[in-house]
Amino acid sequence: MKHILITGGAGFIGSHVVRLFVNRYPHYHIYNLDALTYAGNLENLKDIEHRDNYTFIRGDIKDKAFVDALFKTHHFDGVIHLAAESHVDRSIEDPLIFVKTNILGTIHLLEAFKALWMGSFQGKRFYHISTDEVYGSLGSTGLFIETTAYDPNSPYSASKASSDHFVRAYGETYELPYVLSNCSNNYGPNQFPEKLIPLFINNIINNKPLPVYGDGNYTRDWLYVIDHAKAIDVVFHNGENKETYNIGGCNEWKNIELVRLLCKQMDVKLGRPDGTSEKLITFVKDRPGHDLRYAIDATKIKNELGWEPSVTFEEGLSETIDWYLNNDLWLSHVTSGSYQDYYKKQYN
Ligand code: NAD
Ligand code: TYD
C-alpha cells in the first residue's frame, strides 16, 4: 500500500486527479489535503468520498507545524502538489496571498518531505504541478518548450515560477526526487466560474454581459481537464527524475473566437435563436500585464511518455456546457455568497 498525498484535491484539476487515482489505484491510499478556500469544494468529490482508499484532510499548507506533523503521521511515499491560489485577476488584487500559499506553502511541503525521507529517497517522488504562464508571453509565433526561459508577468505566474525554482533547488541541493509539469489552460467540469469558460457559461445562462478583456485577440492553448489528469498520472508514474514536462492541448484559440464558438453551442443547447448569446459580448477594460499568447510544444511528453490529448475542443466544450447545465445546484452553491462580492468588485 502506497500513501499518496494530493494537495488541492477539492479544487478543479485536483478533484479530477483524486478521482482518477482513487479509481485506478485501489492499492494506493489517497490523502486529499485541502484548505477549502473559496475554490475548494467537496461537492466535486461526492462520488468517491466513501471509498476505502480515500481520506480527506482539511488543512492549510501555509501552516508549517501542521504540514510537518501530517507528514510524520502518514509517511507519504508520494506527493502530487496542486494546492495553489490560481486566478490571475485575484493575484493582481492581492499578490501577498499568492506568495504565502504558492511559494511558502510549497516550501513547507518540500521541507516536510525532505525531513521524512532525506537519506532514503529511493522509490519516493514529489510531483509539482505548474503552469505554462511561468514562461511569460509569446508573440504571434513560436511555442513554449521545456527549456524556454522563465519570464513571468503576473503575480500569479511569478509565484508559480518561484515555487518551480524551489522544487528544482531541492532536487539539486538535497537530491530530493521530483518531477515537474507546466500545463496550458484547462477547461471542463467543476471549474470555478471566475475563469473565462465557466464564467461565460454562467453569464449566458443568466443573460448577463460577457466581459471580454481588451480587444479579445489574446490567445490561449486549451486542454480538457480529464486529459490533464491522465497526463499527471503518466508523469507521476513514468516521468524521469528531475525532469520537466510541458503539457498542452495543441489547441490555440483567440479569446473572441472561443467566446463566439461557446455562444453558438450555448444557443443550440438552450434552444435560443442563433446569435442570441453573441449579443451579450461586451468589450471591457483590459487586464493589466495581460499576456498576449500562450502555446505549448508537447512533443517531449508525447515522444517520451506516450501521452497526447484525447478529446477535440468541440467535444470537450460541448461536454463541459452539458455538465454545467446538468449541475445547476453546484453552480448556484458556488455563485452565492462571496462570489457576488468578487464579481461586483472585478466587473463593477
Ligand atoms: P483551483 O483554484 O480550482 O484549486 C486550488 C485548490 O487548492 C482549492 O481546492 C483550494 O481550496 C486549495 N488551496 C488553496 N490554498 C490552499 C492552502 N493554503 N492550503 C491547502 N489547500 C489550498 O485551481 P486549479 O485550476 O485546479 O489548479 C490546480 C493547480 O494546477 C494549481 O497549482 C495551478 O497553478 C495549476 N494549473 C492550473 C491550470 C488551469 O488552467 N486551471 C493550468 C496549469 C496549471
Ligand atoms: P483565465 O480563464 O483567467 O485564464 P488565464 O488568465 O490563466 O489564461 O483567462 C483566459 C483568457 O480570457 C485570458 O486572456 C483573459 C481572458 N478573460 C476575459 O477576456 N474576460 C474575463 O472575464 C476573464 C476571466 C478572462
Domain boundaries, the chain: 2-187+222-251+293-311
Residue identifier of the C-alpha nearest atom 14 of ligand 2 = 218
Q: Is the pLDDT of residue 1 over 80?
A: no
Helix (H, G, I), strand (E, B) or coil at 257: helix
Q: Is the pLDDT of residue 247 over 90?
A: yes
Catalytic residues: 132-133, 156
96-142: pLDDT as tens digits: 999 999 999 999 999 999 999 999 999 999 999 999 999 999 999 99
211-231: pLDDT as tens digits: 999 999 999 999 999 999 999
Q: Which of 17, 19, 37, 246 to mutate to test the pocket of ligand 1 (most atoms within 8 A of CB)?
A: 37
Q: Taking a C-beta distance cutoff of 8 angstroms, is the pair 4, 32 a contact?
A: no
147 CB burial (10 A radius; 0-12, 13-18, 19+): exposed
Residues 20 and 54: their CA atoms lie apart, in Å, by 12
Q: Is the pLDDT of residue 337 over 90?
A: no
Residues 163 and 288: their CA atoms lie apart, in Å, by 23
Architecture of domain 2-187+222-251+293-311: 3-Layer(aba) Sandwich (3.40)
The atom number, within ligand 2, closest to the CA of 347 reads: 22
Burial 315-332 (b: 16+ CB within 10 A, else e): ebbeebbebbeeeeebbe
23-52: pLDDT as tens digits: 999 999 999 999 999 999 999 999 999 999
> What does pLDDT average to over the chain?
97
pLDDT given for residue 99 in this prediction: 98
Q: Taking a C-beta distance cutoff of 8 angstroms, is the pair 63, 7 a contact?
A: no
pLDDT given for residue 342 in this prediction: 94
Ligand 1 midpoint to CA 52 (Å): 25
51-65: pLDDT as tens digits: 999 999 999 999 999
pLDDT given for residue 271 in this prediction: 98
Report residue 206's pLDDT band, with 50, 70 and 90 as the boundaries.
very high
pLDDT given for residue 142 in this prediction: 97
Helices (H), 175-212: 196-205
Residue identifier of the C-alpha nearest atom 7 of ligand 2 = 88
Average confidence (pLDDT) over 237-262? 98
Listing DSSP states for 130-165 in one string gives: EEGGGG--B-SS--B-TTSPP---SHHHHHHHHHHH
Cα–Cα nearest to 175, from 130, 129, 128, 124 = 124
pTM for this predicted structure: 0.99
Q: Is the pLDDT of residue 91 over 80?
A: yes
Burial 154-177 (b: 16+ CB within 10 A, else e): bbbbbbbbbbbebbbebbeebebb
The atom number, within ligand 2, closest to the CA of 218 reads: 14
Query: Residue 183 forms beta bridges with which residues?
Result: 131, 247
